[in-house]
Structure 1
Amino acid sequence: MSSSEKVAALVRLGQYLSGNDPELQIVKDRAFQANGWFTPEFIDLSLQSICRYYLDESRLNAWLAGYAAPVSSPLEVGIVAAGNIPLVGFHDWLCGFLSGHQVRLKLSSKDTILMQHVIDKVKEWYPAYAEQTQVQDMLKNCGAYIATGSNNSARYFEYYFAKYPHIIRRNRTSVAILDGTETPAELEALADDVMLYFGLGCRNVTKIFVPENYHFEDLLKALGKYARLADHHKYKNNYDYNLALALLSNTPHIAAGNIILQESSSVFSPISVLHYSYYTDAASLGEELKTNNDLQCLVGHGFIPFGMAQQPSLSDYADGVDTMQFLTGL
């Protein structure tokens, strides 16, 4: 398939994923039954974002114009996909598909149903493409690798894939800087950055930096937009556990019913907890955070706008490493 044919195939895929085909509805139900974190709301949200930002014809063509043509001598490229949010591995597969390499994909056990269905639909529509992507349990003898996992699994990936061209991704998270002038609408948008997908994504804000003497009332009101998450049993179990820890250890905290605010130096926070720290100099803080390798997104005035952290474009690469450049340069 040529690049234009592949773009047309992806546009068709976007039309399918944004529609109400009964087969797709069944697959979404199965995905939720298999993984309770993949609620219908968040599956639909992920699909909407993919269709809008990844599968739009004009966006695809504009993005591809910045890269070399698909490779003429394709390699087998092993991709170890993550599974923390629905279809989080889609972008890596998309890059492999468009670069022309033979994709060997190891799916996360948390997200097999949705990703497998996407691949199967494209194969069904375009049999000539069927061999380009193969889902495998073991990725051996590939010419290059892309692997996403925890800091612990990344050490193993570095060991096993050291002699091959590779991209290895580790734990990352996102933070926001508040200056106290945020409008109610901006705080509600920040609530999206914090709470969407239960906070499980690397683009979720898990810590906020606030000026000294900051008043949290308006922020807590905005976070109440997601009070319904407290009705989700898996999330509520995490909330109850972390609240109990805070109470037993006499750790100062603010319990809002659906999220716990705690002062902490760590940018990573457990599910249902939002860390915060005070600052005195916003400019120096921003420069310091820009160099923090644990961060995927920096949200706030002058940075990524509130509410946009979970809406990455085609060129918003995980860990800031250009996946498409890596693949087309092999």
Structure 2
Amino acid sequence: EIANRITIVDMLKDFDAIIATGSNNTSRYFDYYFGKYPNIIRKNRNSLAVLTGNESEQQLQNLNKDVFQYFGLGCRNVSKLLVPKEFDFDKLFSAFEPFRTLYDHNKYANNYDYHKGLLLLNEDTFKDTGFLLLREKESLASPMATLHYEYYHEEQTIHSVIGKHNGDLQLVVGNSAELSMPELDFGATQAPELWHYPDKLDTLAFLEDLN
């Protein structure tokens, strides 16, 4: 049984390797204490969606799942969009509409109201659906009830943004029929296949290599 393979101890010692999961902050401590051992140390990750403006209504509705499932808090959730300069946000907002009921969730609504208040106080420019705030920003991670976006002019710009965030990026989604870089099509981020390894690290291969 699996219970016979798990031991809870007060202090870690006499081990061969470390697998640890935490935030960017905790990963620094994991690396400090365990960096000299074979390890997989996981930290914060986010996902990116690349849109061209040619997406069908169904594709945009599939993107809903990537953005809103689990309140957008998972490492596979899309936290940022890359869009062309002439992108029609109204079409996207219409596709997002079925998730308006998220605002009925008290903690989600508190986050929405809080971040909207900050944006208004700071006189920042943003787009507002009434339940989701979109802000043009370079950073990949976005708080709950917000979504960052950035404009691109050519495909090379997309590759540049992906390269800049490579260490913090879990995956890229988009229309693989139009673009070369998406790893998954819209709507598939929360349904990984067995070979879609977190952080692109095969844990079983890591364990096998210890022998």
Q: Is 1:209 the counterpart of 2:68 in the alignment?
A: no
Report the secondary structure of 1:275's partner residue.
strand
Greater length-normalized contact order (CA 8 Å, ≥ 6 residues apart): 2
User: Superposition pairs for residues 266-305 of structure 1, below 5 Å?
Assistant: 266-286=139-159, 288-289=161-162, 292-302=166-176, 303=182, 304-305=184-185
Name 2:179's counterpart in structure 1: none
Report the secondary structure of 1:179's partner residue.
coil
Letter of the aligned partner of 1:298 in structure 2? Answer: V
TM-aligned CA distance change 1:223 to 1:139, over 3 Å? farther
Report the secondary structure of 1:130's partner residue.
helix
Name 1:329's counterpart in structure 2: 209
Q: How big is each residue's C-alpha offset from its partner over 1:142-198, in whole Å with a ceiling of 9 and x where there is no partner?
A: 321111111110010001112321101111100111000000100010111000000
Letter of the aligned partner of 2:204 in structure 1? Answer: M
Report the secondary structure of 1:247's partner residue.
helix
Q: How big is each residue's C-alpha offset from its partner over 1:65-96, in whole Å with a ceiling of 9 and x where there is no partner?
A: xxxxxxxxxxxxxxxxxxxxxxxxxxxxxxxx
After TM superposition, what 4+ stretches of structure 1 lie above 4 angstroms from structure 2?
Answer: none
Name 1:73's counterpart in structure 2: none
Letter of the aligned partner of 1:293 in structure 2? Answer: G
Q: Is 1:264 the counterpart of 2:144 in the alignment?
A: no
**Which structure's CA Rg is the greater one?**
1
The structure 2 residue matched to 1:196, chosen from 69, 72, 78, is 69
The separation in 2 between residues aligned to 1:159 and 1:138, in whole angstroms, is: 19
Q: Which runs of 5+ in 1 are unaligned?
A: 1-125
Q: Is 1:147 the counterpart of 2:27 in the alignment?
A: no
The separation in 1 between residues aligned to 2:138 and 2:160, in whole angstroms, is: 17
The separation in 1 between residues aligned to 2:3 and 2:99, in whole angstroms, is: 41
The separation in 2 between residues aligned to 1:258 and 1:145, in whole angstroms, is: 41
Report the secondary structure of 1:187's partner residue.
helix
- Number of aligned positions between the proteins: 202
Letter of the aligned partner of 2:125 in structure 1? Answer: P
Q: TM-score by structure 1 length?
A: 0.59
Give how far 1:282 is off: 2.1
The structure 2 residue matched to 1:310, chosen from 190, 195, 206, is 190
Contact 1:177 1:209 in 2 (8 A): yes
Report the secondary structure of 2:87's partner residue.
coil
Letter of the aligned partner of 1:325 in structure 2? Answer: A
